Structure 1
Amino acid sequence: MTKRRFRAAAVQTLARLGDFDHNIALVTQYVQEAVRQGAELVVFPECMDTGYLFDSVDHCRELAETMSDGPFVTALSALARKHRIYIASGVTEWDPAKEKIFNTGIMFGRNGETVCHYHKQFLATHDQNWFAFGERGCPVVDTDLGRIGLLICFDGRIPEIFRAMAMQGAEVIVDMANFFAMDQADMWGPARSYENGMWLVAATKAGYERSIYYPGGSMIVDPKGRVLSKVPYDTHGMAIADIDLDAAHDKSIYAANDKIADRRPETYGLMALPYEKTPVYRIAEQPLIPAKSVAKVAAVQMHVTKDSPPEDVFDMVDHAAKLGIKVLTLPEYAFCPSAIPNAAEAAALADQTAMLLAKTSAIASRYQCLIALPTVERAAAGLYVTTFLIGPDGKEVGKYRKTHLTAEERKWAKAGDDYPVFETPFGRIGVMSGYDAVFPEVSRCLGIAAADIILWPASLREPFERELLAIPRAEDNRVAVVLANRVDSPYPGGSLVIPPTGFPLWDINVVAPRALRLGAVMPKHIDLAVCRQKLMIPKVDMFANRLVETYAPIIAA
């Protein structure tokens, strides 16, 4: 019988390289303390048995243990059986049948049995020096503590692995990590929990191992992306919190939407293509001319209000273009006085769209720029939430019809069904509109389709849409993201441009404080060569390193 509530502990400590006795003593001590505090799931960091920075492949092979009789896993199994709890840890595995070394996560059950066995899939540079890429997919297992999935550290830096587990009904994700940077703990962990509506129990190291500094960041995050317990940086200890499984079944967002039920898997087919068959592969080695590969882009935080007529919006766009900005986007429904239009307001906006396009065209041709006009389009099938791209010749480059609709939009709008990317003089441009950005598949499809820049006209409703999702949507795909938000939306303002490599500091509210002023223009120069270069670090390509054969749950109906 599944318990609906239990206590979990994420341990923050430091393994000693090659010293099994020390590391076993360490985990024994922490398990005893976690049990004393009532924990039924105890999680340890990555490669907790051997340490992480080996001298060579031979050194790694010498230390790697088998999962049947290795000293560390045998000790963990005995501890789980003794205390009648679940224990998960990262280990360095030698698989004699495959003759490969894997960066492995293993979880033992109350009887000391192996409950889940996972291989790290998205390998960091140093991982690739000695570990093979994972061959066990994205497993999710039933336990009396709920449905649990395992992943390891860098796996959280691409959205597919978390998502594949979410689509298999995972309620809790156990992350055994060696976080090198604070952003991976402070942003990506909560972001993945928030976008999937799952618990995260993440254990990482703190301290120094040879050339690596581990800051820490062990934490337990709830399905709304809120950090409930966290070990302070540069200390050893445990994050402990009570897990309420029912919370993982509440995927609600906004007033009446569901971040899982509202997915459009029939539109995500691009995610299953082998890398060699994707547009992002085809352009990876196409040369760029440096003098022609920089675009000045901007989010124009301007829209109609009862005091600001359409002429004011066009004046602001005109002034921004006059300053040399070549790619501009307005917020969602920029020419509607309501941030959440009803059917009558949407129809009225659709009636204005031809006029709005004509005025946009005049500005675009006057300054030889590209302008994104988010509006409502009337078509034979009905109304669409459509963003038109008007190019420097004043003609339509293309349009994007919003694929993920809010509950309010469904009352009057039809959904689009694809994610076009348009070749322009200022780079390859795609669009995600408002609610689309909650779904990592949208920006991922645009990235696979070789977008350099993703325009995000928005009417944000929740703080975490900006605070947790905006930077990952850029960095996950190595694209520039241009967020233009309304100032009258439930979560107002904060328009900005995020470069493909993100910011030096993870906290968006520190590096880009939220401007609330109507009429603010947020510009940034974007180097298209940086957008085309998809390496996060050496040998870690955000697209080439994807293991698409494990992502079937994402595109399944």
Structure 2
Amino acid sequence: MTKRRFRAAAVQTLAKLGDFDFNIALATRYVEDAVRQGAELIVFPECMDTGYLFDSPEHCRELAETLADGPFVKALAALSRKHGVYIASGITEWDPAKEKIFNTGIMFDRKGEVACHYHKQFLATHDQNWFAFGERGCPVVDTDLGRIGLLICFDGRIPEIFRAMTMQGAEVIVDMANFFAMDQADMWGPARSYENGVWLVAATKAGYERSIYYPGGSMIVDPKGRVLSKVPYDTHGMSIATIDLDAAADKSIYTANDKIADRRPETYGIMALPYEQTPVYGVADRPLIPSKSVTKVAAVQIHVTPECSVAEVLDMVDHTAKLGAKVLVLPEYAFSEHYILSVEEASEQADRTAENLAAVAKIAARYGCLIAAPVIERAAAGLYVTTVLIGPDGKEIGRYRKTHLTAEERRWAAAGRDYPVFETPFGRIGVMSGYDAVFPETSRCLAIGGADIILWPAALREPFERELIAVPRAEDNRVAVVLANRVDSPYPGGSVVIPPTGFPQWDINIAAPRVMKLGAVMPKHIDLAVCRQKLMIPKVDMFANRLVETYAPIVAA
């Protein structure tokens, strides 16, 4: 019978390279301490058996252990059996049948039997010096503590891995990590929990191992993205918290939406295509002319209010273009006083769309810029929440119809089915509108489609939409994200342009403090060459390295 509540512990410590006896003794002490505190799931960091920075592939092979008779593996199994608990840890595994070394995650059940066996999929630069890419997919297992999935460190930077486990019913994700940077813990872990509505138990190291500094960041995060327990940086210890599985069953967001039920898997097909068949394939190898590869973009934080007319909105757009911005985006429903529209208001807005677009087109032609105008489109199938791209000649380049609708929009709008990427004089541009951004699939489809810049007209309702997922939408995909937010929505203001490499400071509220002023303009120069360089670190291409054959749960209806 599944326990709906249990205690979990994430251990923050430091393994000693090549010293099994030391690492076993260390693990034993932490298990005994965690058991005393009532933990039934105990998680250790990545490569806890051997350490991580080997001298060579031969050195790694010398230390790697098998699942059948490895000393660290046998010790953990015995500890699980002795205390009747689940123990998960990263190990360096030699697979004699495949004759390969894997960066492995292993979880033992209460009887000391293997409950889950995982291979790291997204290998960092140094990983590739000695480990083979994972061959076990995204496993999720039933336990008496709920449905649990395992991943390792860098895997958490890849939205598909977390998502594939969530779509298999995972309630708890165990992350065995060697975090190199604080943003990995402070932003990506909570972001993945928030967007998927699952628990995260992440254990990482703290200290120095040869050339690597591990800051720490072991934590337990709830399905709303809130950090419930965390070990301080640069210390050793345990993060302990109570896991409530019922919280993982609640995928609600806003007033009546659901982060999983509202997905549109029938529209995500490009995510499962082999890399060579996608538009992003080889994009970094195509030459650009430097003088023509820099685009000035701007989020224009203005919309109609009782005190601000359509004419005043257009006047601010005109001023922004006059100062040299070449790609401008307005918030959702910029020509409406309200961020939620009734059926009658949506119809009225649709009646004014042609007039508003004509006015936008004059500005675009006057200054030779591109303007993304969020409007209500009337079509044969009904009304759409549409963003129209007007080009520098004043003509329409294309339009995007919002794919993920809020509960309020469903009362009057039809949903789009495509994620078009438009070739423009200022780069390849895609759009995600409002609620679309909650779904990592939206930005992923656009980036796989070759987008350099993603425009995000928004009316944000929750803080974590900006604080947790905005930067990952840019960095995960190596694209610039231009967020234009309303000032009357539940989480107002904070329009921002996020470069493809993110900010030097991971906390967006420090890197780009929220500006609440109606009429604020957030401009930034974007280098398209940086947007087309998809390497996060050497040998780690955020698209070429994806194991698309494991993403079936994401695109399945």
Tell me the TM-score range normalised by the shorter chain.
over 0.9
Q: What are the Cα deviations for residues 84-109 of structure 1, in whole angstroms up to 9, with x where unaligned?
A: 00000000000000000000000000
Aligned position for 2:68:
68
Aligned position for 1:413:
413
Aligned position for 1:501:
501
Aligned position for 1:243:
243
AA aligned to 1:305 is: T
* TM-score normalised by L of structure 2: 1.00
* CA distance, structure 1, for counterparts of residue 285 and residue 35 of structure 2: 54
AA aligned to 1:47 is: C
AA aligned to 2:218 is: S
Q: What are the Cα deviations for residues 336-376 of structure 1, in whole angstroms up to 9, with x where unaligned?
A: 00011111111111011000110000000000000000010
* CA distance, structure 2, for counterparts of residue 170 and residue 518 of structure 1: 42
Aligned position for 1:446:
446
Report 1:135-284 matches (<5 A): 135-284=135-284
How far is 1:259 from its partner?
Answer: 0.3
* CA distance, structure 2, for counterparts of residue 380 and residue 554 of structure 1: 31
Aligned position for 1:521:
521
Aligned position for 2:305:
305
SS at 2:487 equivalent: coil
How far is 1:442 from its partner?
Answer: 0.2
The alignment status of 1:479 with 2:479, answered yes or no, reads yes
Report 1:30-109 matches (<5 A): 30-109=30-109
Aligned position for 1:389:
389
* CA distance, structure 2, for counterparts of residue 513 and residue 282 of structure 1: 36
SS at 1:280 equivalent: coil
The alignment status of 1:530 with 2:530, answered yes or no, reads yes
How far is 1:284 from its partner?
Answer: 3.0
SS at 2:482 equivalent: strand
* CA distance, structure 2, for counterparts of residue 318 and residue 72 of structure 1: 66
* CA distance, structure 2, for counterparts of residue 4 and residue 283 of structure 1: 47
How far is 1:184 from its partner?
Answer: 0.3
AA aligned to 1:13 is: T
Q: What are the Cα deviations for residues 282-322 of structure 1, in whole angstroms up to 9, with x where unaligned?
A: 53321100000000001000000000000000000000000
AA aligned to 1:427 is: G
* CA distance, structure 1, for counterparts of residue 425 and residue 460 of structure 2: 30
* CA distance, structure 1, for counterparts of residue 241 and residue 256 of structure 2: 29
AA aligned to 1:60 is: C
* CA distance, structure 2, for counterparts of residue 417 and residue 282 of structure 1: 26
AA aligned to 1:287 is: P
Structure 2, gaps ≥5 residues long: none
Q: What are the Cα deviations for residues 431-488 of structure 1, in whole angstroms up to 9, with x where unaligned?
A: 0000000000000000000100000000000000000000000000000000000000
* CA distance, structure 2, for counterparts of residue 40 and residue 211 of structure 1: 34
Percentage identity across paired residues of the two chains: 84
* CA distance, structure 2, for counterparts of residue 499 and residue 229 of structure 1: 31
Aligned position for 1:550:
550
The alignment status of 1:11 with 2:11, answered yes or no, reads yes
SS at 2:229 equivalent: strand
* CA distance, structure 1, for counterparts of residue 352 and residue 179 of structure 2: 51
The alignment status of 1:465 with 2:465, answered yes or no, reads yes
SS at 2:393 equivalent: coil
* TM-score normalised by L of structure 1: 1.00
* CA distance, structure 2, for counterparts of residue 488 and residue 521 of structure 1: 16
How far is 1:212 from its partner?
Answer: 0.1
* CA distance, structure 1, for counterparts of residue 51 and residue 126 of structure 2: 13
AA aligned to 2:245 is: L
Report 1:322-361 matches (<5 A): 322-361=322-361
Q: What are the Cα deviations for residues 82-134 of structure 1, in whole angstroms up to 9, with x where unaligned?
A: 00000000000000000000000000000000000000000000000000000
Number of residue pairs aligned between Structure 1 and Structure 2: 557
Moved over 6 A (4+): none
AA aligned to 1:273 is: L
AA aligned to 1:152 is: I
* CA distance, structure 2, for counterparts of residue 101 and residue 168 of structure 1: 27
RMSD of equivalent CA atoms: 0.4
SS at 1:284 equivalent: helix
Aligned position for 2:375:
375
* CA distance, structure 2, for counterparts of residue 380 and residue 104 of structure 1: 53
Greater alpha carbon shift after TM alignment, 106-115 vs 282-291: 282-291
SS at 2:484 equivalent: strand
SS at 2:488 equivalent: coil
